[in-house]
Chains A and B, each alone.
Chain A
C-alpha cells in the first residue's frame, strides 16, 4: 500500500531545507542558502511555505546591525519529515 508523498516536502528545495534543519538545532538563512545553492528569493519563498505549513519556526533579529533570519524545525516538522521518509521507503522497497 503506497501512501501519497507529502507535497510540501516532495519538492527539491523544501526537502533540502528540511533535511538540513533536521540535522541541526537551528540555522541561519545564510547557512541554508550556502548549503542548498539556492537564490535568496527562491529560498525565502520556500521557507515561507514551510513556515505556513507549521514545519519550521522563523525568527528575525538584528546581529551586528544586519538582519538575521534563523530557522528551526518544529515538532510537527520532525513528524512530517519522519513520515515522508517512511513513505519514501515503501516506494523504494517495491
Chain B
C-alpha cells in the first residue's frame, strides 16, 4: 500500500483549508424545486387574476395545479437523493423548514375550506343566521361566511421559509423575495381580492422563480468551472 507522505505544519493547515473549501464548493443547489414552485404559484395566480379581472372561468380551480406539482416534486427529491454524494450539515435544517412550510400551507388551505362551513353551522345551531343586504336593490339573503382577504395570509406564509433561508444562508435573492412578500402582504390588506391574487402571482415570481433561476445559473457555472 502507498506510503502516506508526512506533511509540514504549514502544508497540513493548507490541506485542511483546501479540503474544507472543496467540500463547501460541492454543494450547488440546482434550483429545480424553487423554479417548479415559483412557476406553479405564478401561473395559478396570473390565470386566477385574469379570471377575476376579465370575468371568465376556465372550468376548474387553477390552484389545484399546486397539488399536482407535488408529483414532479417527489420525483425531483428522489432523483436528487439518488445522485447526491455528500450531505451538507444544513440539509436537515433545510428539509425541516420546507416540510413545516408544506404542512402549514396545506393546513391553511384546509382552514380556508372548512372554517366558513363550520361557522355557518355554528350560527345555525345557535339559532342565528347571517344575512346580507344589497343596498341598491334592498334584497336581503343568506350570507355564507368566508375568510376575508385569505390571499394576504398566504403571502405571510410564503415569506417565512424564504426569508429564514435567505437570512441563514445569506442568499440575497431569497432575502429580497421574503421581504417583498411582507410588503405585498401589507399592500394586500388595502386592495381588493383581485389584486391580492396578482400579488400572490408576483410573490411566486420574486420568492421562488427568480431565486431558483439564479441558483440554476450558479449551479451550471459551478459545474463548468
Q: Which residues of A contact B87 (CB under 8 A)?
A: 24-27
Contact with B along A3-24 (1 / 0, CB 8 A): 0010000111111100110111
Chain A, interface residues (CB within 8 Å), range: 20 to 34
Q: Which residues of B contact A28 (CB under 8 A)?
A: 85-86
A34 to B86, CA, bound (A): 12
Q: Which of A24, A36, A92 is the most central at the interface, judged by chain B CB atoms within 10 Å of its CB? A: A24
Contact with B along A54-94 (1 / 0, CB 8 A): 00000000011000000000000000000001001101100
B26: CB under 8 A from chain A? yes
Are B4 and A14 closer than 8 Å at their CB atoms? yes
Determine how close the nearest CB of chain A comes to the CB of B11; give it in whole angstroms: 8
Are B85 and A88 closer than 8 Å at their CB atoms? no
- Dominant SS among interface residues on chain B: helix
Beta-carbon contacts under 8 Å, B1-55 to A = 1-2, 4-7, 9-10, 12-13, 15-16, 18-20, 22-24, 26
Q: Which residues of B contact A45 (CB under 8 A)?
A: 1
Determine how close the nearest CB of chain B comes to the CB of A70; give it in whole angstroms: 9
B138: CB under 8 A from chain A? no
Are B4 and A11 closer than 8 Å at their CB atoms? yes
Q: Which residues of A contact B19 (CB under 8 A)?
A: 15-16, 19-20, 23, 35-36
Are B20 and A22 closer than 8 Å at their CB atoms? yes
Are A26 and B9 closer than 8 Å at their CB atoms? no
The 16 listed contacts between A and B (C-beta, < 8 Å) are A12-B4, A12-B6, A12-B7, A15-B15, A15-B19, A16-B19, A20-B19, A23-B23, A23-B89, A24-B23, A24-B86, A25-B92, A27-B85, A28-B85, A35-B19, A35-B26
Question: Footprint of A on B, CB under 8 Å?
Answer: 1-2, 4-7, 9-10, 12-13, 15-16, 18-20, 22-24, 26, 82, 85-89, 91-92
Q: A10-B12, A24-B87, A31-B86 are in contact. List 15 more A-B contacts (CB 8 A).
A: A11-B6, A12-B5, A16-B15, A16-B19, A19-B19, A20-B19, A20-B86, A23-B20, A31-B85, A35-B19, A42-B1, A45-B1, A64-B82, A85-B13, A89-B13
